[in-house]
Amino acid sequence: MRKILATFVACAILMAVYAPAVMATPVTIGVVVNGNNGLPPVINYQFALSVDQNGGIVPGDDNPPYADSITDVRPIPGSGMVESAKHFKKYVVVSDPAGITNIASVYERLLDQTGGAIPGKSEVTATDITGNVAEYTEAINQAYNVNLITLADKNEMLYGLQSTKALYRIFVVDNYLTNHDTPGDYQVYFKVVSNSGLLTENNGNRLIIRYMPLRAFELDFSAVDYGTIVINQRKVISGDEDWATPNRPTIKNQGNVNILMQVSASDLVGTVAPIQTIPASALSIHMLGFDINSLSNTPQVLENPLVPCTPTQVDFDITAPLGTSSNIYQGTFTIEMAPIG
């Protein structure tokens, strides 16, 4: 009886071992990256410089001697329907307690004034320029010349970046903002990752790019031709929002802040004797729902502001007063930005 029972149990066990699975069995995988191999990398220095359209560092007005370590970046006005791109370079000097060869990568992202994400500005990998002595030396010297870093900072970086010293590595990222991007203090996020799995971020000490306000405008026309007019009858030259039709006047704010415009006009003077004039008061202008119905030699403000990046139509009209003689008359409009304040 014992033999029979033992044989039966053994068979049951074999059946349990070799019974085929009738459905897929998920297998969970887990892994832990050991990020505790030593100390994290270090962000030692960070600074930014404006560059020109060819990618070269801009001396002079773009990088004045700053009173603080914030880099001012001045926008470039747009042209027609094309936005401009003002470039600037951001530099970060890093080290690692385990040696600079332990630094794997440096990442950067341009953030808005609140530290939030900017559409189209994703995190990117910075370029290592430690081997380009001429490039990083020019950048560090320029940063010192405009008071972004101290003399001690400059000397320490130039010393530690030497290949024989190998204390630091330097990385750079080129970025840009357009002429219509909002002015203010943009934040630059850096992240340094080591081969040991450790990382350091510059949260709490982010690099600041101060994007300056830009007041600029452009017209798609250089003349207003009323053609033939009838005395004491109003004639209108209507504008539109199409930049390709200069016979239909358009104005565009090519900067990044709202602007008010002001307009003046000269008297129109006949070109054929006997000389007669049509007074500037016979001219009118209309924009964004605001009318100046009687122009003069003194500038008058159009009270509704032009907003950035928006082509806007401008309408002009003339009513020659009774007593105006037949002639060909010429004069000028002066359209300019109103003073601030």
Domain final position from 185, 211, 237: 211
- Any residues with CB less than 8 A from the CB of 29 and at least 6 apart, and which? none
Asked, for residue 1, whether it belongs to a domain, the answer is: no
Higher pLDDT, 62 or 55: 55
Q: Kindly state whether residue 10 falls inside one of the protein's structural domains.
A: no
Is a pLDDT exceeding 60 seen at residue 334? yes
Is residue 271 a contact partner of residue 245, using CB atoms and an 8 Å limit?
no
What's the rounded Cα separation, in Å, for the pair 302 and 288? 9
**What average pLDDT does range 143-169 have in this prediction?**
96
92 and 129, same domain (yes or no): yes
Compute and round to an integer the Cα radius of gyration of the chain. Answer: 34
pLDDT for res 61: 59
Residue listed under structure tokens 């004039």: 277
Same domain, 90 and 201: yes
Regarding whether 149 and 73 lie in a shared domain, the answer is: yes
In this predicted structure, the answer to whether residue 2 has a pLDDT above a threshold of 50 is no
- Please identify, among 167, 182, 211, the residue that sits at the C-terminal boundary of a domain: 211
323: left (phi over 0), alpha (psi -120 to 50) or beta: left
Q: How much is the pLDDT for 10?
A: 35
Q: Could you list the residue range(s) of the whole structural domain that residue 322 is in? A: 217-337
Each residue of 78-119: pLDDT tens digit? 999 999 999 999 999 999 999 999 999 999 999 999 999 999
Distance separating alpha carbons of residues 12 and 31, to the nearest angstrom? 37
Q: What is the CATH number of the domain that holds 331?
A: 2.60.40
Tally the domains of the chain: 2
Question: Rounded to the nearest 5°, which phi and psi values hold at 182?
Answer: -60, 135
The residue count of the chain comes to 341
DSSP state of 187: E
Q: Tell me the three-class secondary structure of 28-73, residue by residue.
A: CCCCCCCCCCCCCCEEEEEEEEEECCCCCECCHHHCCCCCCCCEEE
Q: For the segment 216-227, what is each residue's pLDDT rounded down to a tens digit?
A: 999 999 999 999
Q: Same structural domain for residues 54 and 118?
A: yes
Within-domain flag for 22: no
Residue 11 has pLDDT above 50, yes or no: no
- What confidence category does residue 192 fall into, taking pLDDT thresholds of 50, 70 and 90? very high
User: Final residue of a domain: which of 184, 211, 238?
Assistant: 211
Residues 255 and 269 reside in one and the same domain: yes
Mean pLDDT of 254-280: 96
Nearest to 81 by CA among 313, 204, 241, 194: 241
Residues 174 and 132 reside in one and the same domain: yes
Confidence band, pLDDT 50/70/90 cuts, at residue 62: low
Statement to judge: residues 151 and 249 lie in one domain: no
Give the CA angle between residues 253, 258, 261 to the nearest 5°: 65
Question: What pLDDT score does 6 carry?
Answer: 38
User: Measured between alpha carbons, how far is residue 270 from residues 265, 276, 281, 327 in Å?
Assistant: 15, 5, 16, 6
For the chain, percent of residues with pLDDT exceeding 70: 88
Q: How far apart are CA 296 and CA 264, in angstroms?
A: 6
pLDDT at 146: 87
CB 268 within 8 A of CB 332: no
Measure the CA–CA gap between 152 and 137, rounded to whole angstroms: 15
pLDDT of residue 16: 37
Q: Are residues 238 and 190 in the same domain?
A: no
Residue 15 is predicted with a pLDDT of 38
CA distance 291 to 280: 15
Give a yes or no: residue 301 inside a domain: yes
- 8 Å CB contact between 45 and 136: no
Residue 21 domain-assigned?
no
- What's the confidence (pLDDT) of residue 291? 96
* 80, part of any domain: yes
In a domain, 236, yes or no: yes
Q: What is the pLDDT of residue 136?
A: 97
Q: Quick one: pLDDT band at residue 162, thresholds 50, 70, 90?
A: very high
Residue 206 domain-assigned (yes or no): yes
CB hemisphere CA count around 116 (13 angstroms): 4
Q: Is 165 left (phi over 0), alpha (psi -120 to 50) or beta?
A: alpha
Beta bridge partners of 49: 89
pLDDT confidence of residue 57: 73
How far is residue 41's CA from residue 201's CA, in Å, rounded to a whole number?
Answer: 9
147 and 296 share one domain: no
Clarify whether residues 238 and 296 are in a common domain.
yes
Secondary-structure breakdown of the chain: helix, strand, coil percentages, each rounded to the nearest 5: 15, 35, 50
Q: Grade residue 34 by pLDDT with cuts at 50, 70 and 90.
A: low
pLDDT cut 90: percent of the chain above it: 80
59 and 169 both lie in a single domain: yes
- Average pLDDT value over all residues in the chain: 89
Q: Are residues 205 and 223 in the same domain?
A: no
Structure confidence at residue 33 as a pLDDT band (50, 70, 90): low
Tokens representing residue 71 in the block: 């880099």
